[in-house]
Amino acid sequence: MGVKLLLDKAHVEGIRYFDVYRREGGYRSVEKALKEMTPDTIVEEVKKSGLRGRGGAGFPTGMKWSFIAKPEGVPRHLVCNADESEPGTFKDRYLMEFLPHLLIEGLIVSSFALGSNATYIYIRGEYAWIPDILEQAIEEARANGFLGKNILGTGFDCEIYVHRGAGAYICGEETALIESLEGKRGNPRIKPPFPAIKGAWDRPTVVNNVETLAAVVPIINMGGEEYAKIGVGKSTGTKLISACGNINKPGVYEIDMTISVEEFIYSDEYCGGIPNGKRLKACIPGGSSVPILPANLLLKTAKGETRYMNYESLSDGGFATGSMMGSGGFIVLDEDQCVVRNTYTLARFYRHESCGQCSPCREGTGWMEKILKAIDTGKGKMSDIDLLWDIQRRIEGNTICPLGDAAAWPVAAAIRHFRDEFEWHVLNPEESQR
């Protein structure tokens, strides 16, 4: 069994409620942080922990926190990104649904560190039943003196509000999220300025993922140095992986980033192998936007070394032969799956979710969807494959936000590793009809 820092109590009966959570040692980090530490020493601990943003970009959290601007007399905000919409990703939902107090605890400590008296949880609208769970946890925390005015008599005031989105993947991008929080369309802003300088209502704002903020709890409890000893290299601590697709045991797993991809897929502790004894064909290891890898490059790197479930190892080989940890959405395809069809559904997703501000993204995602659909259904030409390659290349890097890249990468990787499958569809139109 690997180390568990977040989900260790997930199966305790009643852990969703304050009393049980508290009895199990909950809210100790708030007492420690508010009474024994200062905002600066908390930021230092988080820096020492090596924690990297769990939303997908992997940016060092402590460093981001130390960048927050502190202009005189201007309020600052912490915003928790619970928009979770990257296909394959459903880990934040699990945390909020089963361990709401862990998130609230992390939010209080982080709010104190950042000086946020009003903290917002921006949750995707479709998770419509979860705001009730969070709001109940918030009420319980308040009733017990952990939220509201003068928390634990320390003079620190903090409120946490839940803000529901309304169905738009793009609102997970932090600047689109901020626009949406302000009651606007989710059109990303140009960065810089980063939110830490100019965010919600033009105030300094830190946006962090649910899992990142939950991880602050064990970091404060055990100390940053101890946390950094778990894991390997720059992949410190534990990571939640949401596993789905053709595996025996889909679900959310906490790993310590030292296990191999092979162990993760085949061990009974995790995915439990592929159903019906089928063979592994391919995998998208970090959410739909990261490159798909064929089985051979997934289990071993191009150099023939074992591939591990951590940031460095998953990206070993760059885009030519590697992929990314991303948001931890692990999507497995068995030998019967069609990579072209899978890529088509993802292209359709990104076209649907493009906010339309940049022409390469708005037009390019539509073209890619159309061409992929044609190829998938046996109506494509050989030249379409090159056209597709060309379009994705022209989107990447030419847009305001990375949604354009996110749309381009899966297409590029599918062609790179599975070109023969695209060609098969073109050459076998009859058999491709759906």
Partner 1 sequence: MVKFSDDKINKVNEIIARYPEGKQKSALLPLLHLAQEEFGNWLDVPVMDYVAELLQITPIEVYEVATFYSMYNLKPVGKYMFEVCQTGPCMLRGSDDIIAYIGTKLGIKPGETTADGMFTLKTVECLGACGYAPMMQLGKHFREHLTKEKVDQLIEECRSKAAQNN
Question: 212 is in the binding site of which of ligand FMN, partner 1, ligand NAI, none (Cβ under 5 to 8 A by kind)?
Answer: ligand FMN
- Whichever of 173 and 376 has its CB closer to ligand NAI, that residue is 173
Site for ligand SF4 in 332-371 (CB under 6 A): 354-358, 361-362
Return d(Cα 287, Cα 295) in angstroms, integer: 17
Q: Which does 67 bind (CB under 5 to 8 A by kind): ligand NAI, ligand SF4, ligand FMN, none?
A: ligand NAI
Of the residues 49, 89, 212, 432, which one makes contact with ligand NAI according to CB under 6 A: 89
Determine the Cα–Cα distance for residues 388 and 394; give it in Å rounded to an integer: 10
One symbol per residue from 60 to 89: x for binding ligand FMN (CB under 6 A), - otherwise; what is it? Answer: -x-------------------x-xxxx---
Question: Considering all CA atoms of the chain, what is the largest pairwise distance in Å, rounded to the nearest integer?
Answer: 74
Smallest separation, CB 97 to partner 1 (Å): 11
- Binding piece for ligand NAI, criterion CB under 6 A, among 49-57, 233-241, 247-255, 270-278: 49-57
Q: Residues 100, 106, 131, 195: which binds ligand NAI (CB under 6 A)?
A: 195
Q: Which of 85, 246, 321, 432 binds ligand NAI (CB under 6 A)?
A: 85
CA angle 140, 143, 145 (to 5 degrees): 110
What's the one-letter identity of residue 198?
A: K
Stretch that binds ligand FMN, among 22-30, 51-59, 341-349, 363-371 (CB under 6 A): 51-59
Q: Tokens in use for 109?
A: 């400590």
Quick one: which of 180, 236, 313, 321 contacts partner 1 (CB under 8 A)?
Answer: 180
Out of ligand FMN, partner 1, ligand SF4, none, what residue 290 binds, judged by CB under 5 to 8 A for its kind, is none
Residues 237-296 touching ligand FMN, rule: CB under 6 A, are: none
- Of 98, 109, 115, the C-alpha closest to 36 is 109
Q: Which residues of 176-190 are buried (b: 16+ CB within 10 A; e: fewer)?
A: bbbbbbeeeebbbbe
The stretch among 38-46, 147-155, 202-210, 421-429 that binds ligand FMN (CB under 6 A) is 202-210
- C-alpha distance across the termini of the chain, in Å: 44
Map residues 242-281 to x or -, x wherever contact with partner 1 holds by CB under 8 A. Answer: xxxxx---xxx-----------------------------
Q: Are residues 51 and 236 in contact, defined by beta-carbon separation less than 8 angstroms?
A: yes
Q: Is 415 in the site for ligand FMN (CB under 6 A)?
A: no
Comparing CB distances to ligand FMN, the nearer of 295 and 361 is 361
Ordered alpha helix ranges (H), 8-99: 18-23, 28-36, 39-49, 61-66, 91-98
The helix (H) or strand (E) run that includes residue 404 is: helix 403-427
Question: Residue from 94, 194, 308, 422 that binds ligand NAI (CB under 6 A)?
Answer: 194
Separation between Cα atoms, residue 172 and residue 99, nearest integer Å: 21
Q: What is the DSSP letter of 349?
A: H
Is 236 one of the binding residues for ligand NAI (CB under 6 A)? no
Distance CA 389, CA 205 (A): 38
Query: Which residues lie closer than 8 Å to 60 by C-beta, 6 or more apart?
Result: 47, 50, 51, 52, 53
Restricting to residues 88-107, which ones interact with partner 1 according to CB under 8 A?
88-90, 93
What is the DSSP secondary structure assignment for residue 52, as one 8-state letter? B
Burial of 424 (0-12, 13-18, 19+ CB in 10 A): middle
Residue 67 interacting with partner 1 (CB under 8 A)? no
Identify residues 385-404 at the interface with ligand SF4 (CB under 6 A). Answer: 399-401, 403-404
Residue 332 CA to residue 402 CA, distance in Å, equals 24
Residue 368 tokens read as 């890619």
Under the binding rule (CB under 6 A), the answer on residue 22 touching ligand SF4 is: no
How far is 33 from 38, CA to CA, in rounded Å? 7
Q: Residue 417 in 3-state DSSP?
A: helix
Report, in Å, the least distance between residue 123 CB and partner 1: 10
Interaction partner, residue 166 (ligand NAI, ligand FMN, partner 1, none; CB < 5-8 Å by kind):
partner 1
- Rule CB under 6 A: which residues touch ligand NAI? 53, 55-57, 59, 64, 67, 84-86, 89, 172-174, 194-196, 207, 287, 289, 326-327, 402, 406
